[in-house]
Amino acid sequence: MPSTLAALNQWLDEVALLTQPARIHWCDGTQAEYAALGAQMLERGELHALNPHTHPRCTLHRSHPGDVARVEHLTYICTRERADAGPNNPWLAPAEAHAKMDALFAGCMRGRTLYVVPYCMGPIDSPLARCGVEITDSAYVVANMHLMTRMGAPALARIEREGRFVKGLHSTGELDPERRFIMHFPEELAIKSYGSGYGGNALLGKKCHALRIASWQARQEGWLAEHMLIVGIQSPQGQTHYIAAAFPSACGKTNLAMLVPPADMRRAGWKVWTVGDDICWMAPGKDGRLWAINPEAGFFGVAPGTSAKTNPNALAMLDHHTIFTNVAVTADGQPWWEGLDARVPALDWQGRPFDPARGPAAHPNSRFTVSARQCPSFSPHAEDAQGVPISAIVFGGRRESLLPLVFEARDWAHGVMLGAAMGSETTAAASGAVGVLRRDPMAMKPFCGYNFADYFAHWLSFDRPGLQLPRIFHVNWFRKGSDGNFLWPGFGDNLRVLAWMLARCEGGAAAVETPIGRMPHAHYLDTAGLRLPAAALEALLHVDPAGWQREMAALGDYFSEFGARLPARLESERRRVLEALEANKPTRRAAQG
């Protein structure tokens, strides 16, 4: 299936000359190709078959123990001007980066197959979609790209029509951590990744293209590429609103995307539809609203913690046609991870007899790769070419105190400031210190392909006549009481908070004005189905003016890292909130509209 596009053929010739593969395979994206790849990897021991009765067509891949996660410190943005990458990104000059990578790629595919993977991020006929070609020597990567993207002949046909694509070159190399780099060249729409087979480093359509390169493209072209889930909430009246939400890791993004309504709301007629759990591309439509697509075709989800309680929809889709990576295995060949159930696995993620003294059975970052179509709550509109209209944008983080359960931004600029202020508190398990705030604006800290100051300015640029922008909210599911326990039950009950948001979007719910934003009064939230003490709900919605003054002062310190490049409007918004707090005059009147 060679291409008719001269630019693609020339690039392939250059790569083949550099890497010296034994053979070249053009991927067509067919099921026959996918099955053949799987059979080859099973035969070579790169994949392991799981129980064919309980998990038909499911396989397990075990990574090299030193290659199990993203490597942010080795992930570079290579722009001509260092300031364009910003203080939020490691930077290397393009010429130096190309030289470093080409030296690694020289002869690296000798004896290996070079796979050419044309792919489309987004529905193949969507004007919001963008295409790329990944060249890789990893059959595991190709198999994952089959599930995660629209790849093969249809993507190649679109690439040949448009004449443009993102170039991604990947090799597992020697899997040597000392020879591992992921370089992004936004001005060239190019990616070079060497020395890792891990998903986020090797599936170049995912974080590398769909966020780091796409965020740069989006700023040039007037849209947004975001680390957000997309979920549809259908009311008992039959109206569906779509929400885009950004959360840092370990904050329940996938769980919210696949939320199952609590029993009382389910009986009332509430339904939830999953469009995507990780990445959202949004652009203004002809009607002035923001329309969004999920550029991915599958889920590359974290396995540990996924269970019938936390995410029954996710668990239901994983019993067939799934690639598991670095999970444990039971004695009868079923995948297992911590939080799944009470069984004791036979083998750990490295294939060794399980011994609790050696740590968790499944790697904490073990994964599943599965087609989105297998999700029971998969939206019938997930593949719509025009996308879905976004009614609300939600930001959130893991904060044990200070941030209330939910509040609404006063306007777009205030909402952008809330997104820029996002972050989560570390835990002792992660860092050795509890309660240390790690800023993660819009959950894009590891993924924004350019200077955060310019990124904030790009967000602010959407506040212009003619656009009907979504309302912006902030949530915190993780506030704790004095006893150290979570105050809010979370999981499916988060729909109670989303229901208030959607009522706000429809103009049907009042709110209380506070210096930090608009909040529901306790009786505005539907908690009838919960055994939630009044004192707990009051604590969840409490605003501490002194604590928020300290928060706004710390945010000012963070903003100062970006110098004069920071949009003045963002700093003025921070000062507006700080002045309202210092005046200590929260206005307890209902906010209309």
| Contact present, 522 and 537 (Cβ < 8 Å) | yes
CATH class assigned to 226-267+389-591? alpha beta
The Cα 582–Cα 580 span in angstroms is 6
Q: What is the pLDDT of residues 6-31, one digit of tens each?
A: 999 999 999 999 999 999 999 999 99
Residue 269 assigned to a binding site: no
> What integer pLDDT is reported at residue 429 of this predicted model?
37
CA distance 569 to 412: 11
Instruction: Name the DSSP letter for residue 436.
Output: -
Cβ atoms of residues 590 and 510 within 8 Å: yes
249 annotated as a binding-site residue:
yes
| Cα–Cα distance for residue pair 529/27, rounded to 1 Å | 52
- The Cα–Cα gap between 587 and 411 comes to 17
* Alpha-carbon span 361 to 349, nearest angstrom: 6
Amino acid type, 123: P
Residue 550 in tokens: 């300290």
Is this structure's pTM higher than 0.85?
yes
Sign of the CA dihedral 516, 518, 524, 526? negative
- Ligand-binding site membership of 399 (annotated): no
The beta strands (E) that lie in 381-457 are given as 388-396, 406-408, 423-425, 437-439
* Strand-pair category, 511-514 with 517-519: antiparallel
For residues 110 and 22, the answer to whether their CB atoms sit within 8 Å is yes
Nearest CA among 331, 284, 314, 433 for reference residue 374: 314
The whole-number pLDDT of residue 433 equals: 57
Does 365 show up as a binding residue in the annotation?
Answer: yes
Q: Residue 254 in contact with residue 268, Cβ under 8 Å? A: no
- The C-alpha R_g of the chain, in whole angstroms, comes to 24
Please tell me whether 278 is known to bind a ligand: yes
Query: For residue 1, what pLDDT is reported?
Result: 60
Residue 563 CB coordination number (10 Å): 10
Known binder of ligand: residue 144? no
Annotated catalytic residue: which of 131, 251, 280, 448? 251
The verdict on whether residue 466 carries a ligand-binding annotation is no
494 annotated as ligand-binding:
yes
Q: How high is the pLDDT of residue 528? A: 85
The candidate with the shortest Cα–Cα distance to 454, out of 426, 485, 412, 420, is 420
Q: Flag whether 80 is marked binding.
A: no
445 assigned ligand-binding residue: no
Q: Any known ligand binding at 492? A: yes
Q: Is 375 annotated as a binding residue?
A: no
Buried residues in 309-345 as b, exposed as e (16+ CB within 10 A): ebbbbbbebbbebbbbbbbbbbeebbbbbbebeeeeb
pLDDT of 425 = 83
Tell me what pLDDT residue 521 has: 87
DSSP 313-343: HHHHTTSSS-EEES-EE-TTS-EE-TTS-S-
**Does 255 appear as a known binding residue?**
yes
**Would the annotation count 491 as a binding residue?**
yes
Query: In 10 A of CB 433, how many CB atoms?
Result: 10
Residues of the chain with CATH 3.40.449.10: 6-46+67-222
Q: Which of 166, 161, 294, 176 is nearest to 226 (CA)?
A: 294
Range(s) of the chain covered by CATH 3.90.228.20 = 226-267+389-591
251 catalytically annotated = yes
Residue 483, marked binder = no
Dihedral pair phi/psi, residue 554, rounded to 5°: -65, -35
Architecture of domain 6-46+67-222: 3-Layer(aba) Sandwich (3.40)
pLDDT of residue 522: 84
Q: Is 366 annotated as a binding residue?
A: yes
Confirm or deny that 480 is annotated as ligand binding.
Answer: no
pLDDT tens per residue, the chain (593 residues)? Answer: 678 999 999 999 999 999 999 999 999 999 999 999 999 999 999 999 999 999 999 999 999 999 998 899 999 999 999 999 999 999 999 999 999 999 999 999 999 999 999 999 999 999 999 999 999 999 999 999 999 999 999 999 999 999 999 999 999 999 999 999 999 999 999 999 999 999 999 999 999 999 999 999 999 999 999 999 999 999 999 999 999 999 998 788 999 999 999 999 999 999 999 999 999 999 999 999 999 999 999 999 999 999 999 999 999 999 999 999 999 999 999 999 999 999 999 999 999 999 999 999 999 999 999 999 999 999 999 999 999 999 999 999 999 999 999 999 999 999 999 999 999 886 543 434 556 889 999 999 999 999 999 999 999 999 999 999 999 999 999 999 999 999 999 999 999 999 999 999 999 888 999 999 999 988 889 898 898 999 999 999 999 999 999 999 999 999 999 999 999 999 999 999 999 999 875 444 444 45
Residue 70 annotated as lining a ligand binding site: yes
